Amino acid sequence: MNVEKLFEMQEALDRHIEEKHGLQNTDLIENKILALLVELGELANETRCFKFWSLKGPAAKETILAEYVDGVHFILSLGIACEFRDTVKDMTDGLDKGQEPTAMFITLYRDIVLFDQERTKSAYRQVFKNYLALGNLLGFSGEDIERAYVDKNQINYDRQKQGY
């Protein structure tokens, strides 16, 4: 996965959105953190990994991947806003697969809240690393993630043009 390419695409999308909505001088970090938490919940809902009471299986893999890359958008956007994008080079090597999905979701919620409290490079790196590990745990390769991100990035531009 070419993380730098994704950062460049996200930076262009963020700039487009901020200019279109007159937000160039607005601190959007808290909004992006909340958006990431919401997207993480939507992803968990599609995996259904925590729904012990239900016999219904997870959504289709492509649906889960689409939800997953929504979170990637906000993680990249936070890295840009906080000027932390240089801290995540070579993050795709040696990802932890040891946790069950439910435990990884809970870990990520904690990581995101800690990042909100600290706003440090190490806290950002932990969010990014564990989000990539979650993707790995869900069966997504770096290539899957990059492809889905590029597709969703275009959808996000199209939505902006349509007044989303």
pLDDT band at residue 66 under the 50/70/90 scheme: very high
Token digits for 95?
A: 């990802």
Residues 108-144 pLDDT 10s = 999 999 999 999 999 999 999 999 999 999 999 999 9
Which structural domain, as residue segments, surrounds residue 128?
3-161
In the chain, the number of structural domains is: 1
CATH number at residue 102: 1.10.4010.10
- DSSP state for residue 162 in the 8-state scheme: T
Question: pTM of whole model > 0.75?
Answer: yes
Contacts of 126 (CB under 8 A, 6+ apart): 111, 114, 115
